[in-house]
Structure 1
Amino acid sequence: MRWFNKMDYKHYALGWVAVLFSLAGAAFADTDEGWQIRKDEQGITVYAREVADSPIDEIRASASIQAPYPVVLALLLDHTARPQWNALCQEARVLQSGTPDEQRVYFYYKMPWPVTDRDLVMALSVNDADGVAIMKGTAIADDTAPAGKAVRVLKAREEWRIERLDENSTRVTMTALMDPAGPIPAWLINAMSVSQPYEAMEQLRLLASQRAVAATAQIKK
């Protein structure tokens, strides 16, 4: 089996970010230049771009969701629900909640053989104002969640933008940059570079729509 070199490592980041759909010591660039579309189907678009002084590509995925803004925001703030829309996220639990807008959350990801599982603790915060919410997450060291057999990811960052489009639709955009903390087989890089972010956003959209329908039915009772 071939293990990836530096160029493969950049392409691998596309898949790994999607696997975690949450998480790089480097900060996000302020510009919107340089993005290249990797997939654009069914209202879901996956982008990638190179980052200066980093062997890892930055990832962006965006989708329009037929669900009201409060429903979509509540779903993304329900961190324990991540396994419902991220197929490889096996566990998600809140370790500490300083305020409703700031939390430390543990995530465990079950990776396909022969890759070792990954886990991480993220400090997550949200700013919600005028129909636009920005949720940011950064991987941190946290002794309250001792590393077991999984490889602990310590360099990861994500940003979610949740934007009200109208009364019944919302746009979600995720941007992420991370270091997966170890080598991954080339076949897994290729398999996940586009499919994982796309499928995760697809499942997020489905779950949000289901919650919107359930909320409407509850109101009518």
Structure 2
Amino acid sequence: MAVGEVKYPEDSDFKVFRNLADSVDGWTEKYSKNGTKVWAKNSDTSSKMFKAHKVFSDVSASVMYDVLHDSDFRVKWDSSMEEGKEMYMVCPNSDLSYYQLKVPSPFKNRDYLMQRIWLQTLDASYIFNHSVFHKNVPERKGVIRAESILTGYLVRVNGKGCELTYVSQSDPRGSLPKWIVNKLTQYLAPKMMNRLHKACLKYPTWKKKNRPHHKPWLNPEQLSIPRLDMNDILPRQEYTDDDSLDESEVKEEDVKEDEINFNDI
């Protein structure tokens, strides 16, 4: 799937993502601690690809899949989210979603409009996305419209627990300083894994009290968002050229280490 393309999911899309999550060629290990491993890979574009993997012995695959989907619960655990919502249904296992990433000053918030695709099978569950363009979701003043080239999760059963592989290739755009790239590798994926783990442990109790049977990602008849009109999809957009969004001079000491959250989606 290419950035800007909206399409109905095909078996080949899931195969491509799975092969990417499982591949070893071209990946370089950048981090390994407390069971979390992170790799980086150069690509044909200027944006590197990152991959993280962790086994969760005390979290079932079904709970992990639900937590990654449940937007009502996400506001409880995702402190990086300024705003997030499902906007249009493409088909029963795909939608267009908006996500705005909260970024500490002096950086600008990033936002994404993405086609998400998901599937649950007997041996694996998939959720992945790429950026698209819609006439009703233009750029916002003071927020940088970033691009997800491909970002997603592969969840597998592992004994009584599960294992999660997270893959992301994203262009945060803007004129970012070079030091931030290293921070992305060192901190974001492990931080996301830890945050997800804590959320998964709390989810079953929370869900019992909050619409326990409402899971539109498993029950498409529960979807309440409007159907996508393909005529509203725009070709790939030219982005705003705004000098005030230049962040290249931001120094590392000006940003708190635990607040760097650029790719945590």
In the TM superposition, residue 34 of structure 1 has moved relative to its aligned partner by 2.0
Specify the code of the residue in structure 2 equivalent to 1:107.
Answer: Y
> For residue 51 of structure 2, what is the aligned residue in structure 1?
60
Q: Percent identity?
A: 18
Which structure shows the higher strand fraction?
A: 1
Distance 1:216 1:83, change over 3 A: closer
**What is the CA–CA distance in structure 1 between the aligned matches of 2:182 and 2:98, rounded to whole Å?**
27
> For residue 103 of structure 1, what is the aligned residue in structure 2?
95
User: Are positions 1:195 and 2:193 aligned together?
Assistant: no
Q: Is the 8 A contact 2:112 2:148 kept in 1?
A: no
**What is the CA–CA distance in structure 1 between the aligned matches of 2:108 and 2:53, rounded to whole Å?**
29
> For residue 141 of structure 1, what is the aligned residue in structure 2?
133
User: Are positions 1:183 and 2:183 aligned together?
Assistant: no
Distance 1:83 1:48, change over 3 A: farther
Summarize the alignment of residues 8-27 of structure 1 with structure 2, pairs less than 5 Å apart: none
In the TM superposition, residue 216 of structure 1 has moved relative to its aligned partner by 9.1
Summarize the alignment of residues 3-152 of structure 1 with structure 2, pairs less than 5 Å apart: 30=20, 31-51=23-43, 53-65=44-56, 66-79=58-71, 81-149=73-141, 150-152=143-145
> For residue 152 of structure 2, what is the aligned residue in structure 1?
159
**What is the CA–CA distance in structure 2 between the aligned matches of 1:87 and 1:56, rounded to whole Å?**
25
Specify the code of the residue in structure 2 equivalent to 1:58.
Answer: M
* Superposition TM-score, scaled by structure 2 size: 0.64
> For residue 196 of structure 2, what is the aligned residue in structure 1?
204
Specify the code of the residue in structure 2 equivalent to 1:63.
Answer: K
In the TM superposition, residue 109 of structure 1 has moved relative to its aligned partner by 1.0
Distance 1:48 1:83, change over 3 A: farther
Q: Is the 8 A contact 2:124 2:155 kept in 1?
A: yes
In the TM superposition, residue 78 of structure 1 has moved relative to its aligned partner by 1.8
- Residue aligned with 2:138, SS: coil
In the TM superposition, residue 79 of structure 1 has moved relative to its aligned partner by 4.0
- Residue aligned with 1:160, SS: strand
Distance 1:151 1:56, change over 3 A: same
**What is the CA–CA distance in structure 1 between the aligned matches of 2:137 and 2:113, rounded to whole Å?**
8
Greater CA radius of gyration, 1 or 2? 2
- CA offset digits 1:70-95 (Å, max 9, x no partner): 11111112245445444422211111
In the TM superposition, residue 45 of structure 1 has moved relative to its aligned partner by 1.3
Task: Report how many aligned residue pairs link the two structures.
Answer: 193
Distance 1:216 1:43, change over 3 A: farther
- Residue aligned with 1:196, SS: helix
Q: Is the 8 A contact 1:85 1:200 kept in 2?
A: no
**What is the CA–CA distance in structure 1 between the aligned matches of 2:105 and 2:118, rounded to whole Å?**
35
In the TM superposition, residue 185 of structure 1 has moved relative to its aligned partner by 2.4
* Superposition TM-score, scaled by structure 1 size: 0.75
RMSD, aligned CA: 2.8
Specify the code of the residue in structure 2 equivalent to 1:40.
Answer: S
Specify the code of the residue in structure 2 equivalent to 1:70.
Answer: S
Q: Is the 8 A contact 2:50 2:185 kept in 1?
A: no
Specify the code of the residue in structure 2 equivalent to 1:152.
Answer: R
Q: Is the 8 A contact 1:132 1:162 kept in 2?
A: yes
**What is the CA–CA distance in structure 2 between the aligned matches of 1:62 and 1:78, rounded to whole Å?**
21
